[in-house]
Amino acid sequence: MPNKKNITAVVSVYNEEKTVESVVTSILNCKVVDELIVVDDGSVDDTEKILKGLSKSEKLHYIRFDKNKGKSYAMVAGVENASGDIIVFVDADLVGLRCEHIEKLVSPLLANKADMVIGRRSYEAALKIDITKPIDVWLGGERACYKKDILPILDAVRESKFGIETLLNLYFKSKNKTIKIVDLDGLIHLKKYEKYRLDVAALNYTKATLQIVKAVINNRLLALSAIKAFLRSHNPLDM
């Protein structure tokens, strides 16, 4: 791969005992990843036991919170402890993760063809999303970007919880940065109703949706900047 940079993968996990071992093992076996930081966001199932069993690898840096603080808090902690030039965010509730998925996420960055790359899982490929538009919000958890590009926004996204992907999208758009979507063939993201009882899954979906809406409202100036940046880039008078 051209222009080799140090690459850190960040996995935030909360009660994912069924999938976390395969996800972590796949990343550890991926040669393009120089460092893996796993942030256990206060899991109360066997996630901690599983991760401690894998923590003997020199490549793995394991961080655990005593209490659940939210996805964004865990992701930010991962970035703050990362030594890599490129950060690859990977969800812990995945099935079928392979090294080629990581390579597809980082290749456009290394080739200077994108500033942030977002992965699209198999079942999402039929959805029509235009990430260049400010109104389209792609929430994929698998994404890669240069660490230097997200350092300025870490404090702003720390408390956004499930709104973090939305805020990252808006921030990159507001800075006129290039966002690219790549298809991660064969990768499956377990839906909440596949992991929890129907009532629990519905509650979790509702909480996540409210957190995303709240994140946009609390950062409406950022959203406005993203819209203005889009309009400027599509105004022929400014060319």
Q: Looking at the domain assignment, is residue 234 inside a domain?
A: yes
Rounded Cα–Cα distance for residues 160 and 152 (Å) = 15
CA distances from 90 to 27, 148, 227, 229 (A): 9, 19, 28, 28
pTM for the whole thing?
0.79
| 1 in any annotated domain | no
Q: Which domain holds residue 46?
A: 7-238
| CATH code where residue 78 lies | 3.90.550.10
> Does residue 85 belong to any structural domain of this protein?
yes
Tell me if 15 is assigned to some domain. yes
As for how many domains the chain has, the answer is: 1
Which region, left, alpha or beta, applies to residue 127 given φ > 0 means left and ψ of -120 to 50 means alpha?
beta
Contacts of 23 (CB under 8 A, 6+ apart): 11, 16, 90, 91, 92, 94, 97
Task: In whole angstroms, give the CA distance from residue 77 to residue 58.
Answer: 19
Under a CB-based contact definition with an 8 Å cutoff, are residues 21 and 47 in contact? no
pLDDT of residue 237: 46
Does any domain span residue 217?
Answer: yes
Report the amino acid identity of residue 97: L
Distance CA 110, CA 226 (A): 25
pLDDT at residue 134, as a whole number: 41
2 found inside a domain: no
pLDDT tens across the length of the chain (239 residues): 444 789 999 999 999 999 999 999 999 999 999 999 999 999 999 999 999 999 788 999 999 999 999 999 999 999 999 999 999 999 999 999 999 999 999 999 999 999 999 998 765 555 555 554 444 445 678 999 999 999 999 998 888 776 788 888 888 988 889 999 899 999 987 654 345 555 554 555 466 566 556 665 665 555 555 555 555 555 544 43
* CA dist., res. 28 & res. 213, Å (int): 35
The predicted pLDDT at position 170 comes to 85
CA distances from 75 to 22, 58, 166, 185, 233 (A): 19, 20, 14, 24, 30
d(CA 101, CA 192): 22
Query: What is the Cα–Cα distance from 180 to 219, expressed in whole angstroms?
Result: 23
Residues 139 and 161 sit within 8 Å (Cβ to Cβ): no
d(CA 198, CA 200): 6
